[in-house]
Copies of this chain bind each other. A is one copy, B any other.
C-alpha cells in the first residue's frame, strides 16, 4: 500500500484528519462539523469549514458508508437503457431518488440472466441500500433471491417474479392487451398476430410459460380477445422470438403469402416500428392493408402517417412509484409486500380499419 489514497496524478486526498490539523481541533470534532452531526460550537464549526474549504476537502462517501452501513444509493437494473421505456422509467426513479437524497447506480441486463446476475452482483458489492429491477425472467428467479438473501430491499418493476415476495409495480397489461386487441377483432379481423421479441424455447402454446410476466400478461389479454371474438386456436396467433428472427423479417413473413395476417399487435413500440417499416417496404398501406396497434405511446407513433393507435403506459410513474416503495423499505417499512398495478390508457389514432378482404 505505497500510495493508498493517491489519485491518478499522485495527489493525496484531503481527509478529515488534514482538516482537523489545519483547524487545530481533533479529528472527531472536525468530522462532526464536516458531517453536520453531533454538537459543535459555532466558532469551531466556522474554523473547520473554513479549513476544509481552503484545503479543498471532499468527503469520501465510501468511508462514510463503511462506518454507517448506509450508502444512500439505490441500484437499478434495466434491460437496456436505450429502450425508451427503460429510459423513462429510470428517469422517474432517479427523480424520486434524488428528491429523497439517494443516488442511483444503473446497470443493463440486456435481458440476459447471466448479465443480470453480474449486474446485481456489482450493485450488491457496492452496497446499495436497495435495488430496483425489471428482471430478465419472471420464472428463473435465483438472481432476485440472491438480493433478498443478501438482505437488501428489492422492488420489481414492469415485471413480477414468481415466488419472490417483494413489492412490485406493474401496468395492467392483460386488460390493456384485451382492449387493444378487441379494437382489431371488432373491426372484423380474424388473422391477427401478436409479436414479441421475448426469447422462448419453442413456438408458443397454451401451456408455455413466457419468461417475462408483462409479456405473458399481454399474451393472455390478446388470447382473451381472440377467444371472445370466436377465433379458434388463438394461441397459434402468438409469435415470439422476434429478436432472433429479426422483427422486420418476421413481419414480412407474416404479411405475405396466402395466410397473410391483416392485423398486428406489437408488444412494444420498437417492435411496432419494425412492423411499420416492413409494411412500407412491402408497399402495404396502413390501415387499408394492415391494421397495427402497439404498447407505449412512443414519439414516432404520433407523427407517423397514419398515426398508430397505442396503449399508453404511465412509464415515469412506474419508475417513480417503484423508487418510492423501495425508499420506504430502506427506511424500515416492514409491511407485507404489495403489488401496485397502474392503469394503461388507449390513444386512438388512425391505424385500425376493417380488413380489406374479410376473413
List A residues at the B interface (Cβ < 8 Å): 1, 3-11, 56, 58-63, 65-69, 71, 73, 80-82, 84, 87-88, 90-91, 94, 103-108, 121-122, 124-127, 129-130, 149-153, 273, 276-277, 280, 298-300, 302-305, 329-330, 332
A4 partner, pick from B67, B122, B300, beta carbons under 8 A:
B67
Extra inter-chain contacts (8) besides given A7-B69, A58-B124, A103-B105, CB under 8 Å = A4-B67, A8-B332, A9-B151, A62-B62, A62-B71, A82-B88, A94-B108, A300-B300
C-alpha gap A11/B69 in the complex (Å): 12
* Partner among B59, B69, B91 whose Cβ is within 8 Å of the Cβ of A108: B91
Contact B276 A303 (CB under 8 A): yes
Instruction: For the complex, give the distance between the alpha carbons of A124 and B3 in Å.
Output: 18
Q: Which residues of chain B come closer than 8 Å to A107, judged between CB atoms?
A: 103-104
Chain B residues within an 8 Å CB radius of A4: 67-69
Which residue of chain B is the closest to A280 with respect to CB atoms? Answer: B303
What residue of chain B has the Cβ atom nearest to residue A104's Cβ? B106
Q: Which residue of B lies closest to A299 (CB)?
A: B300
Copies in the assembly, this chain: 2
Distance of A28 Cα from B82 Cα, bound (Å): 43
CA distance A303 to B305 in the complex (A): 8
Most buried by B among A68, A104, A329: A104
- The closest CB in chain B to the CB of A103 belongs to B122
Contacts of A59 in B (CB 8 A): 125
With a CB–CB cut-off of 8 A, which chain B residues contact A153?
8
Contact assessment for B94 and A56 in the assembled complex, using a CB-CB cutoff below 8 Å: no
Cβ of A81: which chain B residues have Cβ within 8 Å of it? 81, 87, 90-91, 94
* B residues in contact with A60, CB < 8 Å: 125, 127
Q: B61 contacts A126, CB within 8 Å?
A: yes
CA distance A121 to B302 in the complex (A): 39
Would you list 24 pairs from A and B whose C-beta atoms are within 8 A, ordered by A residue?
A5-B69, A6-B69, A7-B152, A8-B151, A8-B152, A8-B153, A8-B329, A8-B330, A58-B150, A61-B125, A62-B126, A81-B94, A84-B87, A91-B108, A94-B108, A104-B106, A104-B107, A105-B105, A105-B106, A299-B299, A300-B303, A303-B303, A304-B304, A304-B305
A63–B61 touching, CB < 8 Å:
no
Q: Which residue of B lies closest to A301 (CB)?
A: B300
Task: Tell which of A71, A87, A105, A280 has the most Cβ of chain B within 10 Å.
Answer: A87
Residues of B within 8 A of A65 (CB): 62
Among A8, A67, A68, A129, the most chain B Cβ lie within 10 Å of the Cβ of A8
A1 touching B67 in the complex, CB below 8 Å, given contacts A151-B7, A152-B7, A303-B273: yes
Closest to A269 in B: B299
**Least Cβ–Cβ distance between A319 and chain B, in angstroms:** 11
Chain B contacts for A71, CB-based, 8 A: 62
